[in-house]
Structure 1
């Protein structure tokens, strides 16, 4: 079984097809899946859940899943890391809600009393994602937090199951210190998380399916791409902020990953 990774705090994607395109797999992030249309079965950790339009599924890190479509299906996938809600998690009540996301109860049923509240919130998230406004993340984050609260409230007495807390702590640390390369050396990571230096790379690759260095590089480059367009920063500014030796170094790395220079990328995105 392979592992899918998310190298940014939030990503929203859509699958609209007659056949689920991915084999059985797991994630290192949280994933909320909203059925926009269609019928079939969703297999999560070996358990099958029938689905139809309006159903909602929540996956925690290390959950495994795949779909069996009985008809053409449209799924909205909202993927996020814990640190997307870093500011919200300072509230113990919200942290308790977040910890419950790995409850055995994975599906909000179509007949649930909260469906009338949750469906409009999902439609709001989809609409805001397509608009790409300056306030997009604020609106999406607050809508997601409301969905979490409504969903967890409905799960009754279920308690959370631990999901490799060390890996989640490592990913959160990377995201928080992505601009401080000296804090992300293998030596520093091994010391911080009490893993032997010789074993750290293997541990990370086994847990995520991707090499540690590659994960850090991809996460940094995606953040740089966002700030290049969203915050209108220069390549020179971003090279300095993210610890590249100079502008040309960042240009080479950016082009190797995105197959275009930062300036060409920015021009294309702003023209969309």
Structure 2
């Protein structure tokens, strides 16, 4: 499958099309697509879903997609990579924005199709994307700073929309959202500590029973806590493999797998490739 590359931390542009002439492709960046007008189908990872004006889709680098346009469509694209996170957080006193954004991106695939259901949120996002598009073309004072803040606003609106879908019709409280973010952040921080990554110990850290924390995380993220733990370990393993300092046996031990064979099996299940192929 073809891969489209971009080497800018942030890129914003619009396309007006009556026919989608691009092949199915992946990216080396994250992408948020806002449909300003038009209808058709979005084929994402071989799943077909209809789109209409106001819909928003979040794509990860590994997602393959293309569109089939039925009615003349205007798309606004917001493309970015992890370098933007560093720029956005420069001088920040809190990691909450980063935690919320990482949680949004890691769990976005648990919601099929359009992520925004609330009509008012769709209107707000429409305005934000219009401003982003205009400011991205400006060379005026503070345009870059404004872009970063607008980007943060888009991500927070999407995080709220995602949590609303996950929590039901009523918008969840900040306390509930914060607790989920804290739990997932804890697993990322302690990926190399097998003892702390046990569900019993995670539950104890947040004054929950193992059974309740499992139900809580599944309800509010769409995935079980065990899935989050494994995905965090696999992501950490990929980083260690790229680093080259440890062999597969050492990585398996550091991440708490019973042996290298078990690690190889789980790694291939989640990535589609053997760790030896990295």
**Normalising by structure 1, what TM-score?**
0.56
Which residue of the other structure, out of 158, 164, 168, is the alignment partner of 2:221?
A: 158
2:124 equivalent to 1:146: no
Aligned to 1:213: none
Aligned to 1:17: 17
CA displacement at 1:158 relative to structure 2: 2.5
Aligned to 1:65: 65
Structure 1: 5+ residue stretches without partners = 171-188, 197-206, 208-272
Aligned to 2:135: 128
8 Å CA contact 2:14, 2:133 repeated in 1 = no
2:37 equivalent to 1:37: yes
CA displacement at 1:149 relative to structure 2: 0.9
Aligned to 2:97: 94
Structure 2: 5+ residue stretches without partners = 164-219, 248-272, 274-278
1:223-256 C-alpha deviation (Å, 9 max, x unpaired):
xxxxxxxxxxxxxxxxxxxxxxxxxxxxxxxxxx
Which one scores higher on RCO, CA 8 angstroms, separation ≥ 6? 1
**Normalising by structure 2, what TM-score?**
0.55
CA displacement at 1:14 relative to structure 2: 2.5
- Shifted more, 4-13 versus 87-96: the winner is 87-96
8 Å CA contact 2:24, 2:66 repeated in 1 = yes
- Matched residue count: 178
Cα RMSD of the aligned pairs, angstroms, is: 3.1
8 Å CA contact 1:85, 1:141 repeated in 2 = no
Q: Which aligned pairs between 1:42-57 and structure 2 lie closer than 5 A?
A: 42-57=42-57
2:126 equivalent to 1:119: yes
